């Protein structure tokens, strides 16, 4: 994902403040430039997630986003954040 795409992605995220977005996988931990972007969306209501997904799907880079989506409850019991080493999207520059 290049700088322009990252900026567009952060713009999408800003339109959906009810969904917390994280990035994990080879984008932040890999050596080579990854093909796709692994993301975690933490949503309170399904409507929030559906709205985010629809917005993401309108972006050209949508086919290259691999999205895991969890409610806060689901995330708490999963250990996903620790295991994946996910970082908030906003931390990416």
Partner 1 sequence: MTIVDSFILSKYTSMDVVLDAEAERSHVRIARKRHRSVRFGVVKTQDVTVAKIGHLFDGEVDFIVNIPATGIFQGEAIELCQDEGVGWGGLADSMRAVRYEEPYTYTHPAHSFVLPALRRHSHVRSVSFVDSRRLLVTRPGGLPPLVLYIEDTYQTEVTSVRFAIDRCWPFDIFVAIDPNAGPTRQAVSAAHNAGVEILRWGETLGRLRR
Least separation in angstroms between CB 91 and partner 1 = 19
Q: How far apart are CA 38 and CA 34, in angstroms?
A: 9
Q: What minimum distance in Å lies between the beta carbon of 74 and partner 1?
A: 5
- Alpha-carbon distance of 5 to 18, in angstroms, equals 21
Which residue number, 83 or 93, has a Cβ lying nearer to partner 1?
83
Q: Judged by CB, which is closer to partner 1: 9, or 68? A: 68
Q: What does the binding site for partner 1 look like in residue numbers (CB under 8 A)?
A: 2, 24-25, 33, 35-36, 38, 49, 57, 60-66, 68-71, 73-74, 77-80, 83-84
Residues in a beta bridge with 19: 43
Q: For residue 24, what are the contacts with CB-CB under 8 A and spacing of at least 6?
A: 38, 39, 40, 84, 85, 86, 87
Q: How far is the CB of 78 from partner 1 (least distance, A)?
A: 5
Contact 67, 56 (CB under 8 A): yes
If the CB atoms of residues 10 and 66 are measured against partner 1, the closer one turns out to be 66
């Amino acid at each position: 994902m290049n700088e322009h795409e990252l900026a567009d992605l952060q713009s999408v995220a800003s339109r959906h403040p009810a969904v917390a977005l994280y990035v994990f996988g080879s984008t932040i931990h890999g050596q080579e430039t990854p093909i796709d972007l692994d993301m975690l969306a933490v949503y309170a209501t399904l409507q929030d997630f559906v709205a985010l997904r629809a917005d993401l799907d309108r972006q050209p880079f949508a086919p290259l986003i691999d999205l895991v989506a969890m409610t806060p409850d689901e995330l708490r019991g999963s250990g996903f954040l620790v295991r994946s080493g996910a970082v908030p999207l906003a931390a990416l520059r």
